[in-house]
Amino acid sequence: MPVAQFSQTRLSGSTHDNPENHYFSCRNKRANNGLCATTHHIRVDYITALVANHLRRTLHFASLFEDEFVKIVVDERYREVQLRQKKNQRELADAQTRDKEINRLYERIYEDQALGRLPEDRFLMLAAKYDDEQAALRQRIL
């Protein structure tokens, strides 16, 4: 589902009944990305009231059903940790795969240079590039 991107702006001039009202304007119309066909905005005081109301309702629920609230919070935190672990594992596997790929590439350019198919200056440039990338990868892996 597309997400609206808002930027905070301030109404000014005589076209609005209260120039002190602040609002967020949707950037999708100006970005011309096809998500929004018209310009629209939401006032900051309205968002503030919605958030305050939601906080009041959450605190009320937490005070009435403390055990259930704690369980919800703990479960959500556990889910976030699980998602972060999966992401970190994917990134680690990707880094390890790339590290092995760099080893193969390094062997290939070494052989090409030894057989005279790769000029020395090109070999040194590629070797330095692979060394730098591999050093950065190994920092991430550790």
Comparing CA positions, the residue from 112, 131, 134, 136 lying closest to residue 123 is 112
Q: How would residue 45 be classed by pLDDT, with cut points 50, 70 and 90? A: confident
Cα(104)–Cα(98) distance, integer angstroms: 10
This prediction's pTM: 0.59
In the predicted model, is pLDDT for residue 46 greater than 60? yes
Cα(1)–Cα(50) distance, integer angstroms: 22
In the predicted model, is pLDDT for residue 3 greater than 80? no
Count of alpha carbons within 13 Å of 111, Cβ hemisphere only?
Answer: 6
Q: What average pLDDT does the chain have?
A: 86
Domain range summary for the chain, segments of one domain joined by +? 1-64, 66-142
Count of alpha carbons within 13 Å of 45, Cβ hemisphere only?
Answer: 6
